[in-house]
Structure 1
Amino acid sequence: MNFGETIRKIRKDKNFTQKELSEGILTRSHLSQIETNNYYPSYDKFFLLLNRLNVIFEEFLFVQNDQKMLFNQQIRSEISEAANLNDTEKLKNLAVTANDLYDKTDNITYYHYMLICKALISYNISHTVNDEMIEFVTPIKEYLFGMDNWYLYELKLFNNIIYALTVEEALLFARTSLKRLGNFQYFLEFRHIEQHIYTNLSTLCLEHRDFQAAKNFAEIAIEKSTKYTLVYEKVCSELNHAIAIINLGEDGNAYEVIRKNMLIIEYLEFDNLHEHFSSFLKKYEIEVDI
């Protein structure tokens, strides 16, 4: 479907007349020419039309692509799902797919996706940061250092490589990312990115046994997950927080929090996630009767 056909389809689907859609933005004749691909509007006019139609740009592309997700968005979503579930086999397949696409297109996005998959696979094997994982994320780290300003893509990249950074590097990047993230607070992806940054920072600090920092980041992560009703993320954040609390000697009800959340993971059959946190508990010699 071409540009004009897409505008026309969305307009008709939403029962707008040409007069209703064009009024105050451009002339009706110009809109008619747009829909027949004889005229292309300026960017500001185009986004005003989308705004009146209550359609975001990503949705416009989805319709234009005959309601098929653009493949780079699809593979990104699949990587995120596999990472959340610690699905190593799926990550291996996605790494091969991303590498093949990078060879064919020379698109750096697919190169980054391939590196992220390999880094996550390496992490899942030992559930600890290792030299191989750090090697995979180094090109991404160099890419981020080379950016004068970050956009959503760079913020998501940072989120995906936090585990393989030193605490000092992560905090340096975090200051940049969280400051920049505020500019995108009205984007739909903002909530997940913001919450995940704090959860991942708490995990990184646990890895480096900086339990006070892990506790602090986990508390913010819990607050964000509660605010945005992110249930899966809240479970992970509460487990990180409880592990940090126990290691700080501030037990409280931390053991009960671990028991409750491990039961939730088990009930939901998130087997890989259960294995991940079981390994974490073993690493810190935390025994909980589940």
Structure 2
Amino acid sequence: MEVGKALKMIRTSKNLTQKSVAEGIMTRAHYANVEAGKIFPAIDKVLDILKKFNVSAPEFFFIVEGYKMSEEQNLFSEVSIAWNLNNIEKLKEIQQSLRMVSKAEQRNQHYRLILNLVDGLIYQREPNYNEEKLNEILQPIKDYLTSLDTWYVFDLHMFNNILYIFQKEDIRKLSQILLEMIKKYENYPNMYQLNLAILSNLGSLFLDAEEYEEASFYMKEAIKFSEKKMYLYERLINEINLIICNFYLKKHTQVETTQALDKKLWVLKELGYESLVNQIKIEINQKYSEICV
């Protein structure tokens, strides 16, 4: 839907006149031309108009897109769902559609980077994939992210999908900008889960690398985030990982650690995650043999 048509639709649904909407922003005639699609207003004027409608900018652009996510958001959603469901055929469909977009769209850096991401995800599922080749496929995304002084939503999505290919030293260099952007986007619609996922994944990454101080830092940040929005599952997973960190940081004895883990695992089981609890127990006993659950 065109911007002008969307503005007209909202205005008429709220029984407002063109004169009342335009007042203090632009002339009525100028606003009439905006609705007719003859001119496009400056973004600050659009925001002023939306305030009169009591409609947020994200909601307005959702309406403009036909009550759908933007194409970019939709792509990220489809890729994420396909990956989580291990649906490689769907990923290959997305890969093919990205390769078939128009030449103009191919020049769009975001499309190229999403294609790099999908190529990497598909390659990861090949039986004999090697890490060096995977890093080569995803390197353009890494180069793009490390070239930026400021990140936006697209960039945070990209980082969360490929953070495992970054060297720990790279992540340390990026940590300040990363934490600043997570804080800035804390209240942006639909960003809470992404921010929580980034912090949780970084915690797990440093835990696997036996960098317990840094793992502990990211897990504590993730727990704070999960508490704010009552994300109990995410909070429990991070608390379990933090208990493991604290054991290796000599903050708790083996007995205290086992008791603390048993409590968290019991809560997870009561929430209906019995198979996950069994999986976590196996993983702890295999990876952290000094701890017994």
Normalising by structure 1, report the TM-score.
Answer: 0.79
Equivalent residue letter for 1:97: I
Equivalent residue letter for 1:4: G
Tell me: CA distance 1:192–1:138, structure 2 relative to 1, closer, same or farther (3 Å). same
Equivalent residue letter for 1:198: L
Partner residue of 1:94 out of 86, 91, 95: 91
CA-based RMSD of the aligned residues comes to: 3.3
For residues 59-138 of structure 1, the aligned pairs below 5 Å read: 59-82=59-82, 86-89=84-87, 93-104=90-101, 105-106=105-106, 107-117=108-118, 119=120, 130-138=131-139
The question of whether the paired residues in 1 share the 8 Å contact of 2:22 and 2:31 is answered with yes
Tell me: CA distance 1:186–1:17, structure 2 relative to 1, closer, same or farther (3 Å). farther
Q: How many residues align?
A: 280
C-alpha distance in structure 1 between counterparts of 2:263 and 2:201, whole Å: 19
1:179 Cα deviation from its structure 2 partner: 2.6
- Give SS of 1:101's match: helix
1:248 Cα deviation from its structure 2 partner: 4.0
Equivalent residue letter for 1:263: K
The question of whether the paired residues in 2 share the 8 Å contact of 1:239 and 1:257 is answered with no
Equivalent residue letter for 1:175: Q
1:231 Cα deviation from its structure 2 partner: 3.5
User: Could you tell which deviates more after superposition, 136-145 or 30-39?
Assistant: 30-39
Tell me: CA distance 1:2–1:274, structure 2 relative to 1, closer, same or farther (3 Å). farther
In the other structure, the counterpart of 2:34 is 34
- Give SS of 1:88's match: coil
Equivalent residue letter for 1:283: K
Identity of aligned residues (%): 28
1:226 Cα deviation from its structure 2 partner: 0.4
In the other structure, the counterpart of 2:203 is 202
Normalising by structure 2, report the TM-score.
Answer: 0.79
User: Could you tell which deviates more after superposition, 203-212 or 8-17?
Assistant: 8-17
The question of whether the paired residues in 1 share the 8 Å contact of 2:240 and 2:261 is answered with no
- State the structure with bigger RCO (CA 8 A, min sep 6), 1 or 2: 1
In the other structure, the counterpart of 1:231 is 232
The question of whether the paired residues in 2 share the 8 Å contact of 1:238 and 1:257 is answered with no
The question of whether the paired residues in 2 share the 8 Å contact of 1:75 and 1:94 is answered with no
1:276 Cα deviation from its structure 2 partner: 7.3
C-alpha distance in structure 1 between counterparts of 2:89 and 2:282, whole Å: 21
User: Could you tell which deviates more after superposition, 15-24 or 157-166?
Assistant: 15-24
1:92 Cα deviation from its structure 2 partner: 5.2
